[in-house]
Amino acid sequence: MQEFMPEAIEFAQKHTLLTVAWIAVFVMTILSLVKGATQKYKTISNAEAITLMNDKEALVVDLRSLDEFQRGHIIGSINLIPADIKSQNVGKIEHHKENR
């Protein structure tokens, strides 16, 4: 181990760009893992979304602007803008809640 540190420092000095790139990739990986573990929502794949919509009758909420929504959207989806959610104006989806 005593031999490793001087060699690592020498390598970093000779290959600065490679070292900086490796550190950046390492930091971005750690940040991605932390973000994934602490987010309040679950990210799902396209296949999982299709399964939920077909088998579980999932409600798809489209958060794009009304113009974008009208240009094309998933059949059966509901358009809500983020401002409506922040102000808790979510009447469009209230009746889709399950009684638990």
CB 73 within 8 A of CB 62: yes
The tens digit of pLDDT for each residue in 15-42 reads 999 999 999 999 999 999 998 888 887 7
99, pLDDT greater than 60: no
In contact, 66 and 79? CB cutoff 8 Å: yes
pTM of this structure: 0.50
Task: Report residue 100's pLDDT band, with 50, 70 and 90 as the boundaries.
Answer: very low
For residue 44, the surrounding DSSP H or E stretch is none
- Looking at residue 61, its pLDDT comes to 85
Query: By three-state DSSP, how is residue 43 classified?
Result: coil
- Number of neighbours of residue 62 by Cβ within 10 angstroms: 16
Phi, psi of 22 (to 5 degrees): -65, -45
Strand, coil or helix: 32: helix
What does the pLDDT look like over 47-92, one tens digit per residue? 988 888 888 778 888 889 889 999 999 888 888 877 777 777 666 6
Domain extent listing, the chain: 4-38, 46-94
